[in-house]
């Protein structure tokens, strides 16, 4: 049986609302509802609602995610966005990305709080781990292994090492799907997806250009990943 593949775009702090919508206009119509590849786009907060509407109007087979959620519930938390508010527009949240851990002091405890909030709101928590020792909170079934050296550097991990980290994570955390992220391009997509324990990709830079992202999806759709 072919494994299902996740292809997740993490736009980080990029794209105006207009740019986000034009990306959806290019990518959306080209997607076919293949049961094998699950596509998610994670825009900045300002663009999430517009992207969600465009995806729904076009009936495109694509989920929408956020790049974070608040560790707090709704209330007097200036600048925060609670899971309870985001759930109307997002299906998934990227949590514990190393850029947030490094630049904003996000801790494992905060990530655990965020996971709890996401689960309460029925948002899929996608937890980023930097290696096989990063703790994964309870109730998480989707994890992205993203070694810091590989992020945005053009220097990805080897598919073999990424596959072996994925296998270790799965051994420790049962029923977990593991994605790889860090300098993924269309050229290396097939090699990562060919690893039996890798269930998909989390893609930053290479997801920004819609044509480039489509190329990654094309490669992912063509493979026969057992």
Footprint of ligand PGA on this chain (CB under 6 A)?
10, 146, 151-152, 181-184, 202-206
**In sequence order, what DSSP letters do the residues of 28-65 get, joined into one string?**
GGG----SSEEEEEE--HHHHHHHHHHHHHHT-S-EEE
The two tokens of residue 130 are: 């930097």
Determine which one of 81, 97, 106, 177 is catalytic: 97
Nearer to ligand PGA, 90 or 206 (CB): 206
Element (H, E) at 17: helix 17-27
Nearer to ligand PGA, 55 or 206 (CB): 206
Cβ neighbours around 78 below 10 Å, total: 4
What's the rounded Cα separation, in Å, for the pair 2 and 20?
A: 32
Q: End-to-end distance of the chain based on CA atoms, in angstroms?
A: 6
What lies within 8 Å, CB to CB, of 104 at 6+ separation is none
Nearer to ligand PGA, 8 or 82 (CB): 8
- Among all residues, whose Cβ is closest to ligand PGA? 204
Closest-CA residue to 186 (of 207, 171, 170, 169): 207
What's the rounded Cα separation, in Å, for the pair 68 and 11?
A: 12
Helical packing angle, 186-193 and 159-172, nearest 10°:
40
Q: How far is the CB of 27 from ligand PGA (least distance, A)?
A: 17
Q: How far is the CB of 127 from ligand PGA (least distance, A)?
A: 12
80 an active-site residue? Answer: no
97 an active-site residue? Answer: yes
Q: How far is the CB of 73 from ligand PGA (least distance, A)?
A: 27
Nearer to ligand PGA, 96 or 204 (CB): 204
Q: How far is the CB of 153 from ligand PGA (least distance, A)?
A: 7
Determine which one of 81, 99, 146, 177 is catalytic: 146
Burial readout 112-137 (b: 16 or more C-beta within 10 A, e: otherwise): bbbbbbbbebebbbbbbbbebebebb
Q: How far is the CB of 145 from ligand PGA (least distance, A)?
A: 11
Nearer to ligand PGA, 51 or 151 (CB): 151
Task: Supply the residues annotated as catalytic.
Answer: 97, 146
């Amino acid at each position: 049986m072919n494994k299902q593949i996740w292809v997740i775009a993490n736009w980080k702090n990029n794209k105006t609302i207009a740019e986000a919508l034009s990306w959806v206009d290019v990518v959306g119509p080209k997607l076919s509802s293949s049961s094998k590849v699950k596509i998610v786009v994670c825009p900045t907060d300002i663009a999430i609602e517009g992207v969600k509407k465009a995806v729904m109007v076009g009936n495109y087979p694509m989920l929408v995610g956020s790049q974070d959620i608040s560790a707090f519930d709704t209330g007097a938390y200036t600048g925060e966005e609670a899971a309870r508010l985001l759930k109307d527009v997002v299906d998934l949240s990227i949590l514990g990305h190393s850029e947030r851990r490094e630049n904003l002091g996000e801790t494992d405890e905060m990530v655990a709080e965020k996971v709890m909030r996401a689960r309460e709101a029925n948002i899929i928590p996608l937890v980023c781990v930097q290696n096989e020792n990063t703790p994964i909170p309870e109730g998480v079934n989707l994890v992205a292994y993203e070694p810091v050296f590989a992020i945005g550097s053009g220097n990805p991990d080897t598919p073999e090492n990424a596959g072996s980290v994925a296998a270790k994570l799965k051994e420790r955390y049962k029923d977990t799907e593991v994605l790889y992220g860090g300098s993924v391009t269309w050229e290396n997509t097939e090699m990562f997806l060919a690893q039996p324990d890798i269930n998909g990709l989390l893609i930053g830079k290479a997801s920004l250009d819609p044509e480039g992202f489509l190329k990654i999806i094309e490669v992912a759709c063509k493979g026969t990943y057992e």
